[in-house]
Amino acid sequence: MNGRRIGVAGAGIVGTLLAWRLRLADRNVRVELVDTVSSERGATGASGGLVRGYDPEPRQLYLAASSLAELRASRLLRAWSCYQETGSVYLQADSGHPAALAELERLLPGSVQTRGPGEAPYLATRHAVVERHAGFISPRRLRDEVLADFVRMGGDLVHGQVGGIRAEPDGTVSWQVDGQQRRYDTGVLATGPWTPALLPGDGYRTKLIQYGVYEASGTVPAPFVDEVTGLYGRPGPGNGVLLGVPSDTYDIDPAKLRPDPALVRRTTELATRVFPGLGIAGLRHIVVAADCYTAPQGLRLRPAAEAVPHLFTFTGGSGGAAKTAIAAARQSADSLLHHLAVPA
Ligand SMILES: Cc1cc2nc3c(=O)[nH]c(=O)nc-3n(C[C@H](O)[C@H](O)[C@H](O)COP(=O)(O)OP(=O)(O)OC[C@H]3O[C@@H](n4cnc5c(N)ncnc54)[C@H](O)[C@@H]3O)c2cc1C
């Protein structure tokens, strides 16, 4: 595939891991990663970085557990991501599907235990999936390190804003970067919450994600998600605790985000109820960002606009993509290289 070119727009964790995987898989393919100079603005810089294997949705479970297995097995990825293994608890109303738990055991042997109501940590009415091999990472550090390695391996990093995407008569995809046209055999938009603006009408939406970091005393919980209330969190930094609940604010402009005080109230009210032993002394700061949502959920390569045949998106579809990005990027790089080798 000498001389074939793939363009990836967006150097968040998702686009950067994809570009890096492509470069690792085939050095004969030219890979160009394009982002504005301030790639700090995306979801990756704001991410809480909780990583676990379990998810009620089978594909999400496969990608999250495979990502975590690869991260744990690689000294490099562990160091790059600042992985901290603290364990994780997923609280839910039922015991979880046995096939899901068997798959988790296959991918992360010895990690998972289940607890019934009364035995579950924190809430007497919940079932819990307790994972030993889980914790949190810094998605931003992982992105920065992978980006540096991509450049070391000869990947091309271009600074600028992608726009004016179109299909060329010769079957290539082109886009403009700050007034300059660039052409590729295949193009991928990994532009996170900016995807709906680039592909209006294609079913992509933005959604607000907000969490707070609070001063904490008493018993600070291990990283957890309570599926019933939506409350999630993890310890730190320092003697603080990170806590959040999902919002239902869609279609916001990722450049104009404001904290939602109602979400702060709901978070503290739920945290007090779910963790009676946790003292929340005050709010240190609020983090507000946006992510890209579409159906079906989960980070995957999707054909983009029908009018541009060799254009794809690679975006979350449901938030929470940091924990699935390592494996999803590997899968998607393989599909893209296959697509290049066997043109439609
Ligand atoms: C507050 C918050 C907390 C989260 N917590 C967790 C968690 O605990 N665990 C977990 O697994 N996931 C979590 N997530 C989700 C996860 O972090 C995101 O799904 C993931 O970071 C998305 O990465 P991305 O690369 O798709 O998007 P982004 O990081 O937003 O990157 C998109 C990039 O595209 C660039 N871009 C946009 N438009 C253009 C253009 N026209 N031209 C060039 N470049 C462009 C932007 O500059 C940006 O760098 C959280 C998300 C948020 C917002």
Q: Ligand 1: which of 37, 39, 44 to mutate, judged by most atoms within 8 Å of the beta carbon? A: 44
Residue having the nearest C-alpha atom to atom 4 of ligand 1:
47
Give the integer Cα–Cα distance in Å for 222 and 178: 45
- The mean per-residue pLDDT over the stretch 247-260 comes to 94
Lowest mean pLDDT among 4-8, 72-76, 123-127, 198-202: 123-127
* Structure letter (DSSP) for residue 59: H
- Is residue 344 pLDDT above 60, yes or no? no
Ligand 1 center–CA 324 separation, angstroms: 13
50 in Cβ contact with 136 (< 8 Å): yes
45 in Cβ contact with 140 (< 8 Å): yes
Give the integer Cα–Cα distance in Å for 54 and 65: 7
Give the integer Cα–Cα distance in Å for 300 and 312: 10
Residue 66 has which token pair?
Answer: 């495979």
Lowest mean pLDDT among 170-184, 249-263, 276-290, 330-344: 330-344
Give the integer Cα–Cα distance in Å for 249 and 261: 13
Give the integer Cα–Cα distance in Å for 174 and 285: 42
151 in Cβ contact with 23 (< 8 Å): no
Verify whether ligand 1 is closer than 6 Å to residue 138 (CB atom): no
Q: What is the structure's pLDDT at 315?
A: 93
Q: What is the structure's pLDDT at 341?
A: 83
Q: Ligand 1: which of 267, 291, 299, 300 to mutate, judged by most atoms within 8 Å of the beta carbon? A: 291
SS3 294: coil
Rounded to the nearest 10 degrees, the angle between the axes of helix 98-107 and helix 58-73 is 20
| Beta strands, E only, the chain | 5-9, 30-35, 50-51, 84-85, 88-92, 112-115, 127-131, 135-136, 156-159, 162-167, 173-177, 180-184, 186-189, 205-218, 224-226, 232-235, 240-244, 278-293, 300-303, 311-315
Residue 142's nearest CA partner among 223, 71, 212 is 71
309 in Cβ contact with 171 (< 8 Å): yes
Query: Where in the chain are the domains?
Result: 5-45+141-203+295-341, 86-133+205-292
161 in Cβ contact with 178 (< 8 Å): yes
Where do we find the tokens 């066997």? 342
The total number of residues written for the chain in this structure:
344
Q: Ligand 1: which of 35, 199, 312, 326 to mutate, judged by most atoms within 8 Å of the beta carbon? A: 35
Angle at 14 between CA 235 and CA 129, to 5 degrees: 40
- The mean per-residue pLDDT over the stretch 10-20 comes to 97
Residue 28's nearest CA partner among 131, 115, 155, 216 is 155
C-alpha radius of gyration, the chain, whole number = 20
Residue 24 has which token pair?
Answer: 């690792």
Verify whether ligand 1 is closer than 6 Å to residue 96 (CB atom): no
71 in Cβ contact with 138 (< 8 Å): no
Give the integer Cα–Cα distance in Å for 151 and 19: 10
Residue 318 phi, psi (nearest 5) = -165, 20
- The mean per-residue pLDDT over the stretch 44-49 comes to 94
| CATH number listed for the domain at residues 86-133+205-292 | 3.30.9.10
| CATH number listed for the domain at residues 5-45+141-203+295-341 | 3.50.50.60
Q: What is the structure's pLDDT at 237?
A: 84
Higher per-residue pLDDT: 153 or 343: 153
Strand arrangement of the beta sheet that strand 84-85 belongs to:
50-51, 135-136, 84-85
Q: Which atom of ligand 1 is nearest to the CA of 323?
A: 11
- Is residue 120 pLDDT above 70, yes or no? no
Give the integer Cα–Cα distance in Å for 59 and 46: 25
* pLDDT bucket at 38, cuts 50 / 70 / 90: confident
ipTM of the complex: 0.99
SS3 68: helix
Q: What is the structure's pLDDT at 1?
A: 62
